[in-house]
Amino acid sequence: MKRFLSTLILVASATAALAQPAPPPNPVMESVSVSGIGRSSVTPDRFTFTLGVQTVANTVDDAVSQNNKRVAAVIAALKAAGAQDKDIQTSNFNIWPQQNYREGQLPEILGYQVTNTVTVRSTKIADAGKLLGVAIAAGVNTSSGINFEVADPARGRDAGLRAAFDDARVKATLLAQAAGRSLGRVLSISEGIVQQPPQPYPVQRAMAMEARATADVPIESGSQEQTYTVSVVFELR
């Protein structure tokens, strides 16, 4: 009899447990996702330009010999003006036959063109115009432009990211108010990446037969605008 009562009590307890209502599910957290953009202006602290010497002669040897002398003079002038060995790098060297094409005939070689280009890099922004001027005066007759850059990518980053977050918060607040809600805590933040291309500044080509420049080339580095983006998820209340 006791065993029967114990079994009955266990069955009754299990039935009562099954009869209890299940706990309510956790409420889904509502949120708003926005992106923000921030900008900061920084002054470039590095420049790069590429200059070259182009020569043409009847033979390869003559074209190369003339080119070598003029390139050596350009490099010497750059160093005399303050450029260091590490600032000057040969970036290209080409030999091209000058050909006369006639229909139905093999091309006739009229001569050879040799081009040697050097790239100059420096953190002395104030020297850019002077280095360009002395290089042109020394024999440069081709150029491809000048770029101003910011050596340290972290410059201006803090201000730019803060501005991007503030922009995101303003947007989220506006959206929440439009929905009759308010913002809660920040649930997540992710940083976007915006690549800033170098700012090219064209340099006028000075041809070999023109009078050589002796003055500094007017150069203005200006400033560069860095752009930062963030994506932020805010809790909605």
Token reading at 132 = 């360009």
Residue type, 186: V
Pairing of strands 88-100, 183-192: unpaired
- 143 pLDDT band, cuts 50/70/90, is confident
Fold classification of 44-151 is: Alpha-Beta Plaits (3.30.70)
Type of residue at 218:
P
Residue type, 141: N
Sign of CA dihedral 90, 71, 209, 59: negative
Q: How many helices (H) and strands (E) does the chain have?
A: 4, 8
Q: What is the pTM of this model?
A: 0.62
CA–CA gap between residue 156 and residue 4 (Å, rounded): 82
- Would you kindly state where each structural domain of the chain is located, as residue ranges? 44-151
Residue 13 DSSP symbol: H
- Chain segment 21-61, per-residue pLDDT in tens: 555 555 667 999 999 999 988 888 899 999 999 999 999 99
Instruction: Judge whether residue 13 has pLDDT over 70.
Output: no
| Low-confidence winner among 98-112, 197-211, 216-230 (lowest mean pLDDT) | 197-211
The answer to whether 33 and 80 are in contact (CB under 8 A) is: no
Rounded CA gap, 161 and 188, in Å? Answer: 15
Determine the straight-line distance between the first and last CA of the chain, rounded to whole angstroms: 60
Provide the β-strand partners of residue 47: 122, 148
Whole-angstrom Cα distance, residue 171 to residue 187?
A: 16
Q: Above 60 in pLDDT, residue 212?
A: no
CA nearest neighbour of 115 among 98, 137, 134, 132: 98
